[in-house]
Amino acid sequence: MKAYGLLTIIIFTGLNFISPNIGIAESNEPNTTTKTLEERLAELEQKQKILERQLEIEREASAEKAKTTPIITANSKDGFSIKSPSNDFVLRFRGLIQADSRFVSGKKDSTATTNDDTFLLRRLRPIFEGTVWKDIDFKFVPDFGGGTTALQDAYLDFKYFPKAKLQVGRFKVPFGIERLQSSADTLFTELALSSNLTPNYDVGAALHSESLFNNKLSYAIGIFNGAADNASSDSDVDGNKEYAGRIFAQPWKDSGNSLIEGLGVGFATTLGDKTGTTSSTYKTVGQQTFFKYNSGVVADGQHTRYSPQLYYHYGSFGLLGEYVLSEQNVKRGTNSQSLKNKAWQVAASYVLTGESASYKGVKPKNPFDPKTGKLGAFELVGRMSQLNIDDNAFAGSTASAIASSSTSANAATAWGMGINWYLNNNVKASLDYEQTAFSGGSSSGDRQKERAILARVQLSF
C-alpha cells in the first residue's frame, strides 16, 4: 500500500513540472505557498497510517462481534438451532408429527363402545433441547397427540465426565430395547407385545455413558420412583424406589468384519418394592386392552424385571429381539400371589433399495423427487411376539381372583408384516398388518382374533 502511495506522488509531482496546467506553474521566483515534495509525502504517509488504523479497528470490532453473534442453522439432522460461536450455549427446536389411521376387527364383544376404526394424531411433539455452559444438556418434550397433553422428556444431563454422565429429571427408564428406541425410528407403528412388560417414562436420576471402550460399550444405572408395566410415572405413590440398570455391548464394532460388527447384545433389569393400586394394563397393537387386574388388586412387595436383548444389522438386513420377565407380588383381599409374566419378540427388516439397516432409522441415498425419478428408500418388516400371563393371576374364587378369565386373556400371540417408505431423512410413511390370537379372555373361551391395519405418515426433524 505504501509503494502505491509513493508511486502516485512521484508521478503527480513529475507531471506538475512538465505541465503548468496540471499543478504548479513554472517560475524563477520562490513560491512560499507551495508544499514541498517531502511535505506531500509526509502528509500522504500520515493519511495512510490513519486508514490502516481504521481498518485495524474495524477488524477488531468484527472479531469481537463474532464472539457474541449467535449462529443460526437449519438442517435435516438437528432441526432449527441457535448457538453461540463457542458452542457453549445451544438451543435446538425439533419436532415429531405422526398422523395415523387405525382399522381394527375383532372387538372383545358386540357391546364394546370403543371405536377402533379411526384417524388420529398419534404423536404431536415439539422438542426443545440444547446445551448451557458447555457441559449441561437439557431436553423438554410435551406431547399433544391423541387430543390430550402429556409430558414426555424433561431432564438435565451433566456431562462433565463423558464416562459417567448424570441425567436427572423425567426420561425413559433404561430397560426395554424397543421402548428405548426413538418413536420415529421403530420398525412398526406400534410396539410389540413384549413392551407391555417394560416401564416407560419415570422420574429419577441415572449415571450413563455410550462411549466406553471406543464406543463399544454403553451402560446406564439409576434410581426412580417406580413405574408399573406399560406405564409412566410422575410421582412416588408409596415412598419406595426402584433401581434400574442396563448394559449393551457391540464388541466387534468398527472391526472391519462386516458379518459380525453389527451385532450388539445387552441385558437390563429393574428391582424395587411397590405397594398400592397397580395400574398395569396390557394392550394389543390395535390398542385394545386384553389384560387388566380386577378392581381392588394392589402391588404388595417386590417387583423385578429382567430382559436379555439384541440388535443386529448386516448391510440392508436388520434384526431386533428381546425377552422380558416381569415378576411382581400382588394381592386382592387375602389372595396374595407372586406373578411371573413373560414376553418376547423378534423383528426383522430388509431395505429393498440397498441402504443400510439401522437401529436409528434408514437414511435414503436418493430422497424422493418425482421430477428426477428418485423414489427414496423402501423397507420390508416382519415381526412375531408373544405375552404369557402367570396362571396364578386367575386362581381363586371370582371374588378374590387377581384377574378375570372371562375378560382378560392369559396369553396373546401376534405376527405382523409391513412396509416403510422413507421419502427423505425427515418424512416417512408406513403401512402395517398385524394379527393377534388369544388364549382365554372371553366367557365362551378364547377371545376373538384381532386383525389390525395401521398406516402412518410421519414428519420428524
Last residue of a domain, one of 42, 65, 88: 65
Q: Is residue 77 part of a domain?
A: no
Provide the whole-model pTM.
Answer: 0.84
pLDDT on residue 115: 60
Q: Which helix (H) or strand (E) holds 171?
A: strand 165-172
Contact (CB, 8 A) for 189 and 432: yes
Shared-domain flag, residues 140 and 52: no
CB atoms within 10 A of CB 347: 22
pLDDT on residue 10: 43
Shared-domain flag, residues 128 and 10: no
Shared-domain flag, residues 335 and 417: yes
Domain span holding position 261: 96-460
Q: Is residue 206 part of a domain?
A: yes
The set of residues, in sequence order, having a beta carbon less than 8 Å from that of 111 and lying 6+ positions away, is none
Q: Is residue 47 part of a domain?
A: yes
Cell numbers 422420574 correspond to: 203
Q: Is residue 133 part of a domain?
A: yes
Q: Is residue 85 part of a domain?
A: no
Q: What is the mean pLDDT of each run of 10 residues along the chain (461 residues)?
A: 45 44 44 71 85 86 79 87 92 97 77 69 97 97 93 97 97 98 97 98 97 96 96 90 98 94 98 87 95 94 97 98 97 94 98 97 96 97 98 91 95 98 98 97 92 98 95
Q: Is residue 248 part of a domain?
A: yes
Q: Is residue 70 part of a domain?
A: no
Q: Per DSSP, what are the bridge partners of residue 432?
A: 418, 454
Q: Is residue 76 part of a domain?
A: no
Measured CA to CA, the distance from residue 270 to residue 79 in angstroms comes to 34
Question: What's the CATH number where 451 sits?
Answer: 2.40.160.10
Last residue of a domain, one of 65, 86, 112: 65
Domain count across the chain: 2
